[in-house]
Structure 1
Amino acid sequence: METYDLIIVGAGPAGSTLARALEGSGKRALLIDKQAFPRDKTCAGWVTPSVMETLDIDLAEYGKGRTLQPIRRFRIGMMGQRAVENDHGGVVSYGIRRCEFDDYLLGRTVTRKQLGSPVKTIIRKDGNWLINNTCSAPLLVGAGGHFCPVAKLIGDGPGSHETVVAAKEIEFKMTQEQAKACEARGDTPELWFCKDLKGYAWVFRKGNYLNIGLGREDNHKLTEHLQSFVETMKTTGRIPADLPGRFKGHAYLLYDHAGRALVDDGLLVIGDAAGLAYTQSGEGIRPAIESALLAADVIRRAPDFSATSLQAYGDAIAERFGHRGSVSEEGLQVPDWIKMPLAGTLMRSHWFTRKVVTEKWFLHQEVPALAANS
């Protein structure tokens, strides 16, 4: 039986960031993930400069042999209306492929790893957590996404009581013919909001890779909205007429009404396992990275791993992202004052789509990057 100070379940951006942040702290950690890396990950895949800054990623180095699509413009509209295109005058984000990005982050940590190892059993014994009867630790950190097994041990865990945002998307490498037929440009992602403002769709080109998807808070209408959107994009030439494969689905919680408990005795959750996706955009990468760094700071300083000692992490999350119940209302959230019929007019405004939708909701430019040693 291998014994560690902590075991991190999930080796995505949250888990690998936490592991790397704890290196040199004296804490002996183990990273476990059910999949081998690199692995496919359903995600639109863009990160802001603040994420790259926080992670101390050298853009020139990262761009060698990996997809790194500079984003300078956004094309935004409401379904059924003409889109508005805004030039931001410089690079405001980067398109990445999660299979590459996650593998890169994982490769930077020297923390011991068990990849391709699903968590089958979790047992509490003598103040430790026993995983698969092969390893144990007094602290178990959940970084395994929405259905993380660690999240099931805290509070009510995942279930029907939660309002889940469901998304479906596809990412593929276009043929030469498809690339020529695709009018979407790499430096200009397209965001299309549903008329009821309960979700949005996107078309995002990254070099010869194309990512298309749609996310909504009401899962039962997801396929219907997606099919309608895809057909419209094909008809207008925004995407190729022949899409390969099937759209893959995933789910996540928005921070405001997720309501998941973040800590318990010997337990802590970060990233999507904690339900930290931004309320207006559904973005989860930046919250995952920042929650991992906040958790690392608490773990380094905590006198023990009791819920009382770990609560400092919950306090740090509230300070960084706001107190739940005060962020906004419900669903893929927009303030009451933008609700129909005003929304259609606002989505045709260059000022609103640039200053509010893009720079505030999606890029969070008003929020400074979190220092890596926070």
Structure 2
Amino acid sequence: MDSCQVLIVGGGPAGSSCAKRLHEAGLDTIILDKSAFPRDKVCGGWITPAVIRELEIDLTEYASGRVLQLITRFRTSRMGDTEVETDYGRPVSYGIRRVEFDDYLLRRCGTRLILGTPLTSMERSGDSWIVNGAIRARLLIGAGGHFCPVARLLGTKARDETAVAAQEIEFEMDPEQAKSCSIRGEAPELYFCSDMKGYGWCFRKENFLNIGLGRLDAHSLPGHVSDFLRWLKESGKVAFALPAAMRGHAYLIFRETKRPVVSDGVLLIGDAAGLAYSQSGEGIRPAIESGLLAADTILAAEGEYTRSRLERYREMLNSRFGESRSDWSTLIGRKLPPRFMQSIAGSLLRTHWFSRRIVLDRWFLHTHEPALDA
């Protein structure tokens, strides 16, 4: 039987970030993932300078053979309304393809990898876990996304939770499609739904195009996606038929989730813990930061992985992502009647100040949140 100190189930950004820090500290760690990497992953795919700093990514090295789209501006609006372009004059984000980004992080983390192998069984044996009848680990970390099997171990029923539902597609455009696309790589476009319960996006990463829409109201998602795609075509933004069907996925936002992220010998990180930002639904930075916070908690526990010793991780999550960190615009928006918010949303989104200072700086880029090491 194989053995390790820490077994991480899931090789995405949360799992690989946690594994790298643990490996560098000398902890024997294994990552288990059902997929063989590189693997496709449905995601809009951009990262901020804070993520670059936290992961110590050399942009020149990363860009060699991979897509790295510099983002210096955004176009925002309520769908079909007046669009506002915000130019920062410098890179404020970087477009990446998850198939490349996740593989890059996984391969450099330095830990042992067991890929193409799903988690099929978990049982407690003394102060350890026996996984798949073949791996003994003192600590189990769930990093397997919204439907993480480790989260199920803690009693989570993903299908009973209120989650953001999204559909999206990413593909490489051929020359004709590229001519029929007005989206610029340096300027992703974000379009809020009329009821402000979701938004659509068009994001060009070099010659790859990512289109998607996510909503809190999952039942009405298909209709909104159809309307969105029709509007993109009629407006001339994407004046061609998509080459394949949109793919669906779901995620939780931290202020809504009730998932137990800590138990004896168990931690949940990333989407398994339900950490996406409430306004944008962006999950890469929260996933990475949760992985780093989990690693710090594990190292501080000094081999005693009881719930009480691991509870520090929950406190760190609440401090980093909890209600107290919400900006004033979000807090006010939750107090006002929905119809009133919808009536003023269009006016606010047409202003350059609101589009930049609130929608982009606070909701999407989180420029007010310093990197963890800052």
CA shift, 1:127, in A, is 2.3
Secondary structure of 1:256's aligned partner: coil
CA shift, 1:152, in A, is 1.1
Preserved CA contact (<8 Å) 1:69 1:206: yes
Distance change >3 Å, CA 323–CA 309, structure 1 → 2: farther
1:175 is matched with 174
Q: How far, CA to CA, are the matches of 1:49 and 1:229 in structure 2?
A: 30
Secondary structure of 1:292's aligned partner: helix
Q: How far, CA to CA, are the matches of 1:127 and 1:296 in structure 2?
A: 19
Preserved CA contact (<8 Å) 2:254 2:322: no
Q: Give structure 2 stretches of 5+ with no counterpart.
A: none
Preserved CA contact (<8 Å) 2:30 2:114: yes
1:216 matched to 2:215: yes
1:100 is matched with 100
2:29 is matched with 29
Amino acid at match of 1:215: G
Q: Could you list the per-position Cα deviations for residues 263-304 of structure 1 after superposition, in whole angstroms to 9, with x for gaps in the alignment?
A: 000110000000000001001000011111111111011040
Q: How far, CA to CA, are the matches of 2:79 and 2:62 in structure 1?
A: 35
Q: How far, CA to CA, are the matches of 1:136 and 1:170 in structure 2?
A: 39
Q: How far, CA to CA, are the matches of 1:362 and 1:158 in structure 2?
A: 29
1:269 matched to 2:268: yes
Q: How far, CA to CA, are the matches of 2:273 and 2:193 in structure 1?
A: 27
Secondary structure of 1:23's aligned partner: helix
2:237 is matched with 238
State the TM-score, normalized to the length of structure 1: 0.95
Secondary structure of 2:24's aligned partner: coil
Q: How far, CA to CA, are the matches of 1:347 and 1:252 in structure 2?
A: 25
Secondary structure of 2:212's aligned partner: strand
1:291 matched to 2:281: no
Secondary structure of 2:229's aligned partner: helix
Preserved CA contact (<8 Å) 1:280 1:334: no
Preserved CA contact (<8 Å) 1:146 1:158: no
Q: Could you list the per-position Cα deviations for residues 63-104 of structure 1 after superposition, in whole angstroms to 9, with x for gaps in the alignment?
A: 111100011111101013121111112111010000000011
Q: Could you list the per-position Cα deviations for residues 303-361 of structure 1 after superposition, in whole angstroms to 9, with x for gaps in the alignment?
A: 4011000001111111111258x8489x9x95445712111100111110111000110
1:68 is matched with 68
- Superposition map of 1:109-120 within 5 A: 109-120=109-120
Amino acid at match of 1:276: L
- Superposition map of 1:12-161 within 5 A: 12-154=12-154, 156-161=155-160
1:363 is matched with 365
Preserved CA contact (<8 Å) 1:14 1:271: yes
Preserved CA contact (<8 Å) 2:146 2:158: no
1:253 is matched with 252
CA RMSD of aligned residues (A): 1.8
Preserved CA contact (<8 Å) 2:14 2:143: yes
State the TM-score, normalized to the length of structure 2: 0.95
Q: How far, CA to CA, are the matches of 1:354 and 1:24 in structure 2?
A: 39
Identity of aligned residues (%): 52
2:300 is matched with 301
